[in-house]
Structure 1
Amino acid sequence: MKIPALVAALLITFAHPVAFAAEADAEILYLLEFVENSGCDFERNGTVHDSADAADHLRLKYRRGGKYASNADQFIDRLASESSWTGKKYTVTCDGTQQLSGEWLHQALDDYRQRETP
């Protein structure tokens, strides 16, 4: 009877990080699609970009720096909120209202999590 308990413990131990990673990936992919489909303008280092360009840039940053973001909150805080070159904060303008991209993305993530929680 000790073998099944050991197997169960191993499954729980090793399956949890996989499930966590899958959830983090789903949230980050949601955020990238959210940015791309937003129709908002993004300012990065003084240059305004449309939502498709902004999403492409964030995908590039995630591909290159994903090791610094093991979850969606870290993705926002470490990759999607400011320039890694200049440290200047990114902004987003939607319907004439400008805000920091980090705040905007955290709100989008909170909304997503509320919809996905049973």
Structure 2
Amino acid sequence: MRRMIFLCLLLAFSTAVTAGDDYEAEIDHLLQFVATSGCTFHRNGTDHSAADAADHLRLKYRRAGKYVGSAEQFIDRLASESSWTGKPYTVTCAGVTQPSGEWLYAALTTLRDPAVSH
């Protein structure tokens, strides 16, 4: 009986750890997506390269990651607007400018379901 309880607890713990790792893997994917996008990021009135934008978001995540428990929270709390000015971030890809949050949500949707194309 004890062995069964132990195995159930072990399974529950490993499932919780795996679930926790999933959102971190998704955030890592989003950061890589940003870095390799070739798009221009607009933050507080200044244009930034894709690599610089990814570095900035990594820094924000390192500093405030404890407030993030999902890829959605990463997008909403760290990757959509300046934490200093409150101004929204935008991204320009192939001549089209859009809010960075919308762009990242589309990338997250595609990651989770590759059959969905944006």
TM over 0.5: yes
Q: Report the alpha carbon displacement of residue 36 of structure 1 after superposing the two structures with TM.
A: 0.3
CA-based RMSD of the aligned residues comes to 1.2
Structure 1 segments of 4 or more deviating over 6 A? none
| CA deviation map 1:88-112 (0-9, x unaligned) | 1100000010000000000000000
Partner of 1:38: 37
Q: Within 2, Cα distance between the matches of 1:114 and 1:84?
A: 30
Q: Report the alpha carbon displacement of residue 4 of structure 1 after superposing the two structures with TM.
A: 2.3
Query: What SS does the aligned partner of 2:113 have?
Result: helix
Q: Report the alpha carbon displacement of residue 25 of structure 1 after superposing the two structures with TM.
A: 1.1
TM value normalised by structure 1? 0.93
Partner of 2:112: 113
Q: Which runs of 5+ in 1 are unaligned?
A: none
Shifted more, 11-20 versus 62-71: the winner is 11-20
**Letter aligned with residue 88 of structure 2:** K
Query: What SS does the aligned partner of 1:115 have?
Result: coil
Map of 1:1-118 to 2, 5 A cutoff?
2-115=1-114
Q: Report the alpha carbon displacement of residue 13 of structure 1 after superposing the two structures with TM.
A: 2.6
Q: Report the alpha carbon displacement of residue 17 of structure 1 after superposing the two structures with TM.
A: 2.1
Query: What SS does the aligned partner of 1:54 have?
Result: helix
Q: Report the alpha carbon displacement of residue 22 of structure 1 after superposing the two structures with TM.
A: 1.2
TM value normalised by structure 2? 0.93
Q: Which runs of 5+ in 2 are unaligned?
A: none
| CA deviation map 1:60-118 (0-9, x unaligned) | 000000011111111001110000011111000000100000000000000000139xx
Query: What SS does the aligned partner of 1:34 have?
Result: helix
Q: Within 2, Cα distance between the matches of 1:112 and 1:82?
A: 22
Query: Percent sequence identity over matched residues?
Result: 58
Q: Report the alpha carbon displacement of residue 14 of structure 1 after superposing the two structures with TM.
A: 1.5
Q: Within 1, Cα distance between the matches of 2:49 and 2:93?
A: 11
Shifted more, 13-22 versus 39-48: the winner is 13-22
